[in-house]
Amino acid sequence: METLDQIKARVEAAFPGASVEIVPNAGVGGQRSLLVDHAHALDVARFLREDPALRLDYASNVTGVDWLDAVIKEKRKVKQVIAGVEREIEETTERRRPGYLEVVYHLYSMELKHGPLVLRLRTANRADNARVPSLTPVWRAAEFQEREAYDLYGIIFDGHPDLRRILMWDEFRDFPMRKDYVEPDDYEYEPTPHDDVLAKAKRHYQP
């Protein structure tokens, strides 16, 4: 398979104006991924599936990631005159990064036997604009997995054919996989309390 840099360059050539970014990975594997803007997400997805050199026809895994608000420290070299002598010193600055949610797609080609390519979509925030376009119209295998991300992270997939809860019951509120999720104590809507859940629930039973 082509390198991620080559794929990025071809996507940008095919869709002028698309925002395509390579996201580094500080983990042991170091596998980088491709972040695409919402406006071009479906076009880029179809390109990845249909391009003869790629044929990424299988979305094997779709996951959510919750990024809380964070303060990012950045270091840079600056020149300053100290005691009449110009010196280069390291300066640390801080900037606030608002939180957001991401959807991560792992794509393979069953036809050409290569992959994965990791594709990311990012929401504007974690509150009133936690939306991304659904890629189910391109990869049908994403349907249930996008529903899972909706159910557990609260990510709304615009254009999904059947966006509803898949693990939690309909009356459940909140999103259990978010990092700031607070587990309820009364389990008001737990249909079958058991084990530790049952012990907590009993505290709220009427005598």
Q: Give residue 18's identity as a one-letter amino acid code.
A: A
Secondary structure (DSSP) of 6-67? HHHHHHHHHSTT--EEEEP--SSS---EEEE-GGGHHHHHHHHHH-TTT---EEEEEEEEEE
Lowest mean pLDDT among 52-61, 101-110, 154-163, 189-198: 189-198
| Type of residue found at 90 | E
**Range of lowest pLDDT (56-60, 61-65, 85-89):** 85-89
Q: Are 33 and 120 in contact (CB under 8 A)?
A: yes
Does residue 200 have a pLDDT over 80?
Answer: no
**Amino acid present at 65:** V
Domains of the chain with bracketed CATH: 4-66+101-167 (3.30.460.80)
Instruction: Output the six-digit token pair for 142.
Output: 């994403």
Name residues whose C-beta falls within 8 Å of residue 111's C-beta, 6 or more positions apart in sequence: 55, 57
The 10s digit of each residue's pLDDT in 184-199 is 766 555 666 677 777 7
- Spatial distance between the Cα atoms of 175 and 150, rounded to a whole number of angstroms: 8
Closest among 191, 188, 135 to 163, alpha carbons compared? 135
- Tell me the per-residue pLDDT of 31-46, one tens digit each, with 9 for 90 and over: 999 999 999 999 999 9
157 pLDDT above the threshold of 90: yes
Distance CA 181, CA 187 (A): 14
Q: What is the DSSP letter of 98?
A: -
Mean pLDDT, the chain, integer = 91
| Average pLDDT for 141-155 | 97
Residue 185 pLDDT: 67
Whole-model pTM?
0.83
